[in-house]
């Protein structure tokens, strides 16, 4: 039971990270390779804001969310939108360059020292079945559930969410129907980068913020491909599959194999279903 609890906790982190990849790709058909470095930057920024404001870290973390959203809008407006009509490879290379800049800024300001975010308390609870879980892990699970409920509800029921779905399916037709595709795409980038802030904070609260935390986001990219790059809901079961495989390898096979498991799962799934387990079949033609 403790093993399954660890799988759920790790899958929550992977699901949120994968969601950021998916939201951005759905809207703009761009793989954001700056994502892992933006997660690191957001984590360090969250630590600084929590320390600067003092007291319960909620206010500082909310500011970090807001700044993450604004950063997404800025990245789209200044870098991605002007690349419209250019080869997609050029835009992908631009995101790689953005990641390099984000990492350089992080090292310049914070020096690369490991940091942690305190949620104000850390209590361990013993549950039936020999389960031991930390309060910060419970917070992560709750936040993940609320995040996905809010995001899926937004896409399904709100007017803006429906416009984002329409733009993702056919941007030209959506534009002809009067939808401001640049606005809704910018909104998607804001939500996607906001996910980096949320993931960076959860990483800092449960593990630590460091220059090496970007590899977690790279694993989340594998999760996004396993679930399908156009399926937000698919990120949850895909994260559970990848987390289960990784922890099973770490606990029962060989710990050295654990980091490779997400990519082994990804290769297997892509060989069978190149569009992902829950992705749209036609998506293979666009990737």
Q: Which residues on neighbouring strands pair with residue 54, listed in sequence order? A: none
- b/e burial code for range 32-66 (CB count within 10 A of at least 16 → b): bbbbbbbbbbbbbbbbbbbeeeeeebeebbebbbe
Token pair of 4 as six digits: 């399954």
Q: Domain residues of the chain, as ranges?
A: 2-285
Q: What is the pTM of this model?
A: 0.86
Check residue 287 and give its pLDDT: 46
3-state secondary structure of 280: coil
Q: Where are the alpha helices (DSSP H) in the chain?
A: 2-28, 35-53, 58-75, 88-110, 135-157, 159-169, 171-176, 181-206, 214-227, 235-248, 261-272
CB 39 within 8 A of CB 212: no
Encode pLDDT of 195-230 as tens digits: 888 888 888 777 778 887 778 888 888 999 999 888
Encode pLDDT of 110-144 as tens digits: 887 777 776 655 677 677 777 777 777 888 888 89
CA 80 – CA 91 distance, rounded (Å): 7
CB 15 within 8 A of CB 235: yes
CA 115 – CA 124 distance, rounded (Å): 21
- Is the CA virtual torsion 127, 131, 134, 137 positive or negative? negative
**What is the fold, at CATH topology level, of the domain defined by 2-285?**
ABC transporter involved in vitamin B12 uptake, BtuC (1.10.3470)
Check residue 55 and give its pLDDT: 57
Q: Kindly write down the DSSP assignment for every residue of 204-241, as one continuous string.
A: HHHS-B-TTTHHHHHHHHHHHHHH-TT-STTHHHHHHH
- Which segments in the chain show pLDDT lower than 50? 283-287
CA 84 – CA 242 distance, rounded (Å): 34
CB 220 within 8 A of CB 17: yes
């Amino acid at each position: 039971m403790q093993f399954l609890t660890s799988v759920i906790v790790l899958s929550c982190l992977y699901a949120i990270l994968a969601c950021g990849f998916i939201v951005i790709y759905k809207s703009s058909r761009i793989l954001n390779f700056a994502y892992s470095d933006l997660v690191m930057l957001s984590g360090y920024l969250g630590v600084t804001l929590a320390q600067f404001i003092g007291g319960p870290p909620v206010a500082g973390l909310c500011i970090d969310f807001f700044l993450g959203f604004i950063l997404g809008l800025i990245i789209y407006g200044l870098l991605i939108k002007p690349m419209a009509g250019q080869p997609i490879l050029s835009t992908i290379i631009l995101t790689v360059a953005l990641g390099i800049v984000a990492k350089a800024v992080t090292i310049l300001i914070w020096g690369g020292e490991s940091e942690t975010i305190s949620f104000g308390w850390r209590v361990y609870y013993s549950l039936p079945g020999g389960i031991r879980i930390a309060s910060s892990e419970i917070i992560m699970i709750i936040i993940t559930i609320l995040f996905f409920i809010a995001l899926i509800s937004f896409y399904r029921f709100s007017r803006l969410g429906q416009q984002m779905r329409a733009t993702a399916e056919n941007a030209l037709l959506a534009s002809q129907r009067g939808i401001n595709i640049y606005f809704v795409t910018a909104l998607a980038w804001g939500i996607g980068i906001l996910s980096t802030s949320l993931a960076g904070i959860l990483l800092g609260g449960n593990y630590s913020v460091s220059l090496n935390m970007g590899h977690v986001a790279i694993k989340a990219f594998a999760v996004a491909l396993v679930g399908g790059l156009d399926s937000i809901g698919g990120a949850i079961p895909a994260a559970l599959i990848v987390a289960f495989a990784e922890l099973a390898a770490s606990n029962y096979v060989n710990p050295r194999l654990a980091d490779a498991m997400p990519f082994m799962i990804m290769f297997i799934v892509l060989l069978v279903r190149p569009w992902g387990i829950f992705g749209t079949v036609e998506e293979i033609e666009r990737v």
